[in-house]
């Protein structure tokens, strides 16, 4: 389905299959918190039918579309095959053209779109905050409630800010990291803009895990954002520009006479599921824009989540236990992984290979944690409640650590686990980090065997 810059109203074939059965309601994150039919998939589809019939203006019900997290849990739940993901992708660009949001919300969104997809700009802004993140000053500011004086959105951003390390301010990867032992595959890696700043260890772990399993990794040095941040908010033209730049960054280094050599890549990998979902849509995102359409199709076809790729390839590197006693990890399925890409088995298959590690699943595995791109900044109250509910569900499994393969979810869960009501503050890791520790045999230190015990990653 093409997505031109000027989008017509949602097409009838997307709304017609809804039979208003309500099977989607219990998995809908916004409905669970707000409890109103108008903030459910069924209610929103009802609105769209009324808009189509000329009985309602979209502007009058815009708030009920802004309350949607775009998690796509309703797509998985729907027995009638309603493609709500395609539907909301058509609605969001229209909302962006309507004067429905407050001046503050418009300013905040524009600031986020001007910053988040640009690691260089974000690094410049974050440099003064490096001493603040994780410091006593931050602890005091949070405890005293000082941050709340700046409003819920700024307070939410402050609470999401993780400690920043020197690695957050540089990418530092070689263009080509060779495979260890016989080469089994050659891949490209998309670093992700938020991930490379706020959780830079994940990309380092991914490169080590791939190399240890016989995979050569090509990382274009001047790669920007994949466009996930803007894509999820219906900023079509901005997303297309970012997508073109990323495709060009790979084309500059791979090919005849190019610095990374002319051998083709077996896949383009990414370790953040929100990015992976958008990258797999490049054939649609660039569909209207030849000659980029020609480049977008093969690029999108080659994109794989790191875990999806490794599970298909099979692990060849020997794995060791993570601690001197058995561990239990609970897997959090990011929505853009589970509902957006249909990946559920791969992370479990990889983690199950680690000796003495058992896996748990929470009761509400398919429900969003409240991160949802910039949702936890622009809708902080709903997001915060979802985060606490999710963390309580994860902690109730009795696991000692939590695993999440999306940077947005990771930051949201770490914040959620701080809530007193959750009870057990589980540390959150990317699956690649656990595989990396297991391959290198560095283990996890400061660990006691009880549920929710503090865990620190060893070896770095
Ligand atoms: S979207 Fe699907 S599950 Fe939800 S009410 Fe419509 S038909 Fe039922
Ligand atoms: S995308 Fe998520 S929040 Fe939006 S209607 Fe569907 S289930 Fe509800």
Buried/exposed code over 96-105 (b: 16+ C-beta within 10 A; e: otherwise): beeebbeeee
Question: Ligand 2: distance of its center to the CA of 104 in Å?
Answer: 25
Give the Å distance between the CA of 20 and the centre of ligand 1: 5
* Cα→Cα distances 185→67, 256, 266, 272, 314, Å: 43, 19, 6, 21, 11
d(C-alpha 138, C-alpha 144), whole Å: 10
- Give alpha helix (H) positions in 5-131: 12-15, 29-34, 41-52, 62-66, 73-77, 84-97, 103-115, 119-126
* CB 24 near ligand 1, within 6 Å: yes
How high is the pLDDT of residue 213?
98
Q: Which helix (H) or strand (E) holds 185?
A: strand 185-190
Q: Quickly count: other Cβ atoms within 10 Å of residue 1's Cβ.
A: 11
Nearest CA to ligand 1 atom 2: 78
- Give tens-digit pLDDT for 250-307: 999 998 899 999 899 999 999 999 999 999 999 889 887 677 888 787 888 899 999 9
Domain architecture of the chain: domains with CATH: 12-97 (1.10.1060.10), 103-168 (no CATH), 171-313 (3.40.50), 327-457 (3.40.50)
Q: What angle do CA 429, 433, 434 make, to 5 degrees?
A: 85
42 CA distance to ligand 1 middle (Å): 6
Calpha distance 403→348 (Å, rounded): 10
Nearest-angstrom CA–CA distance, 413 and 427: 9
Residues of the chain with pLDDT under 70: 1-12, 289, 445-460
Yes or no: say if 368 and 386 are a contact pair by the CB < 8 Å rule: yes
Q: How far apart, in whole angstroms, are the C-alpha atoms of residue 165 and residue 417?
A: 22
User: What pLDDT, on a 0 to 100 scale, did the predictor assign at position 445?
Assistant: 54
Q: Quick one: tokens of 437?
A: 């520790």
Q: Which atom of ligand 1 is nearest to the CA of 77?
A: 3
- Find the ligand nearest to 89 CA: 2
**Sheet with 428-429, edge to edge strand ranges:** 357-360, 327-332, 401-404, 428-429
What pLDDT, in 10s, does the model give residues 171-224? Answer: 889 999 999 999 999 999 999 998 998 898 999 999 999 999 999 999 999 899
Report the separation in Å between the CA atom of 79 and the middle of ligand 1, taken as the mean of its atom positions. Answer: 7
Q: Is the dihedral of CA 436, 442, 446, 451 positive or negative?
A: positive
**Given the structure tokens 């410049």, which residue do they identify?**
124
Residues with CB under 6 A from ligand 2: 27-30, 41, 68-74, 84
Whether the CB-CB separation of 288 and 324 falls below 8 Å is answered with no
| pLDDT for 10 | 66
Check if 20 has its Cβ closer than 6 Å to any atom of ligand 1: yes
Q: How far is the CA of 333 from the centre of ligand 1 (A)?
A: 22
What ligand has the least distance to the C-alpha of 18?
1
Q: How far is CA 424 from CA 398, 408, 455, in A?
A: 9, 21, 12
The owner of tokens 């990771």 is 410
Name the nearest CA neighbour of 23 among 74, 88, 72.
Answer: 74
What pLDDT score was predicted for residue 275?
A: 96
Instruction: Tell the residue nearest (CA) to atom 7 of ligand 1.
Output: 18
For residues 211 and 146, what is the distance between their CA atoms, to the nearest angstrom?
46
Q: Which ligand approaches the C-alpha of residue 77 most closely? A: 1
């Amino acid at each position: 389905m093409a997505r031109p810059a000027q989008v017509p109203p949602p097409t009838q074939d997307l709304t017609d299959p809804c039979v208003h059965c309500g099977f989607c309601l219990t998995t809908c994150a916004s409905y669970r918190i707000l409890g109103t039919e108008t903030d459910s998939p069924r209610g929103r589809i009802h609105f769209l039918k009324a808009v189509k019939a000329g009985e309602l203006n979209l502007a009058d019900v815009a708030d009920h579309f802004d309350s949607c997290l775009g998690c796509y849990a309703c797509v998985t739940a729907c027995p009638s095959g309603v493609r709500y993901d395609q539907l909301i992708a058509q609605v969001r660009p229209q909302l962006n053209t309507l004067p429905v949001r407050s001046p503050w919300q418009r300013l905040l969104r524009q600031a986020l779109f001007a910053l988040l997809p640009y690691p260089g700009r974000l690094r410049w802004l974050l440099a003064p905050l490096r001493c603040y993140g994780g410091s006593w000053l931050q602890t005091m500011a949070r405890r005293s409630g000082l941050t709340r004086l700046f409003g819920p959105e700024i307070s939410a951003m402050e609470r999401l800010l993780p400690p920043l390390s020197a690695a957050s301010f540089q990418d530092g990867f070689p263009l080509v990291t060779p495979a260890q032992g016989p080469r089994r595959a050659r891949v490209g890696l998309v670093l992700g803009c938020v991930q490379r700043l706020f959780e830079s260890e994940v990309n380092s772990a991914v490169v080590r895990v791939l190399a240890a399993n016989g995979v050569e990794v090509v990382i274009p040095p001047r790669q920007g954002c994949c466009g996930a941040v803007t894509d999820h908010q219906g900023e079509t033209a901005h997303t297309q520009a970012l997508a073109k730049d990323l495709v060009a960054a790979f084309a500059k280094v791979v090919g005849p006479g190019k610095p990374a050599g002319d051998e083709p890549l077996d896949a383009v990998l990414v370790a953040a599921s929100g990015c992976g979902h958008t990258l797999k849509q490049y054939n649609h995102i660039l569909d209207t824009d030849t000659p980029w359409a020609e480049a977008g199709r093969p690029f999108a076809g080659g994109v794989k989540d790191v875990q999806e790729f490794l599970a298909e390839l099979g692990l060849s590197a020997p794995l060791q236990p993570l601690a001197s006693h058995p561990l239990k990890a609970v897997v959090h399925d990011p929505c853009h992984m589970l509902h957006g890409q249909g990946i559920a088995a791969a992370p479990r298959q990889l983690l199950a290979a680690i000796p003495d590690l058992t896996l748990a699943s929470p009761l509400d595995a398919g429900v969003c944690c409240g991160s949802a791109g910039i949702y936890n900044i622009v809708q902080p109250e709903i997001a915060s409640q979802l985060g606490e509910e999710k963390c309580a569900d994860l902690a109730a499994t009795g696991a000692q650590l939590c695993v999440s393969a999306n940077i947005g979810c990771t930051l949201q869960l770490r914040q959620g686990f701080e809530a007193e009501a959750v009870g057990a503050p589980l540390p959150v890791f990317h699956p690649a980090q656990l595989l990396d520790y297991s391959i290198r045999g560095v283990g996890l230190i400061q660990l006691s065997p009880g549920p929710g015990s503090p865990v620190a990653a060893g070896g770095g």
